[in-house]
C-alpha cells in the first residue's frame, strides 16, 4: 500500500505562526516545526537564533494530496507571511526568519516557482522568497511543538499568531469549496 502523504518544508518567519496556521487547512495531516537551510548538524533553537548557522525556522507540512492540492498549500503560505521582506517577518528579524521554500524534488520546485509567479501578482513589491533544494530537516525541540495551542494567552500568540490563524481559517473555508486536483 502506497503512503498517500506528501510534505513540503517552508520558512516564513516564526515557525510557531506557520505551524498554527497550516494546522487548520483541510488535508493537512501534521505540521512539524524545525530548522533547515543551514550548515550546522542538529542545530538548537539557541544556535539558530544567533543567525550564524544559516538555518531558518521552518515547518514540514505533511498533507494528503487527494484532499488538498500543493498549489493551495503554497497559496496559503504566501497569504500568511510577507514574502517581500528579506530576513524578517514583522518584529522578527534575522536570516532565520527568511522566506524560504525547500523543495524535495523537481515537481515541488516547479510548483514552488509557479506559486512565486502567482504571488508576484498579489504583492506590490518584489518577492524575495528563496527556492532551494532540501538537504535535511532538523525537528525543533519539543517545547516548540503546538506552541500556539498550548499558550493561547501568550502575548506573541494573541498579537502575532492569532491573526494569521484567522486568515488561515478564512482561507480554509474557501479551500473546502475547491477540490484537490488529481
Interhelix angle 162-175/70-80, rounded to 10 degrees, is: 150
Is residue 14 among the annotated active site residues?
yes
8 A C-beta contact, residue 64 and residue 179: no
Catalytic residue among 14, 17, 49, 157: 14
Task: Give the cell for residue 100.
Answer: 524560504
Helices (H), 32-160: 45-49, 70-80, 106-122, 147-150, 155-156
Within 31-69, where are the H helices?
45-49
Which residues carry out catalysis? 14
Amino acid at each position: 500500500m502506497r503512503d498517500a502523504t506528501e510534505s513540503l518544508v517552508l520558512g516564513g518567519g516564526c515557525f510557531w505562526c506557520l505551524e498554527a496556521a497550516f494546522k487548520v487547512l483541510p488535508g493537512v495531516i501534521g505540521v512539524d516545526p524545525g530548522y533547515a537551510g543551514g550548515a550546522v548538524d542538529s542545530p538548537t533553537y539557541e544556535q539558530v537564533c544567533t543567525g550564524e548557522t544559516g538555518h531558518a525556522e521552518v515547518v514540514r507540512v505533511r498533507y494528503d494530496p487527494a484532499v488538498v492540492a500543493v498549489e493551495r498549500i503554497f497559496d496559503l503560505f504566501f497569504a500568511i507571511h510577507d514574502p517581500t521582506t528579506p530576513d524578517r517577518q514583522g518584529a522578527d528579524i534575522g536570516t532565520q526568519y527568511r522566506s524560504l521554500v525547500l523543495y524535495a524534488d523537481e515537481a515541488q520546485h516547479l510548483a514552488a516557482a509557479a506559486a512565486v509567479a502567482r504571488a508576484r501578482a498579489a504583492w506590490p513589491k518584489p518577492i524575495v522568497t528563496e527556492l532551494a533544494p532540501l538537504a535535511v530537516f532538523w525537528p525543533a525541540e519539543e517545547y516548540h511543538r503546538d506552541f500556539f495551542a498550548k499558550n493561547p494567552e501568550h502575548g506573541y500568540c494573541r498579537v502575532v499568531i492569532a491573526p494569521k490563524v484567522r486568515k488561515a481559517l478564512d482561507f480554509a473555508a474557501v479551500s473546502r469549496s475547491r477540490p484537490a486536483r488529481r
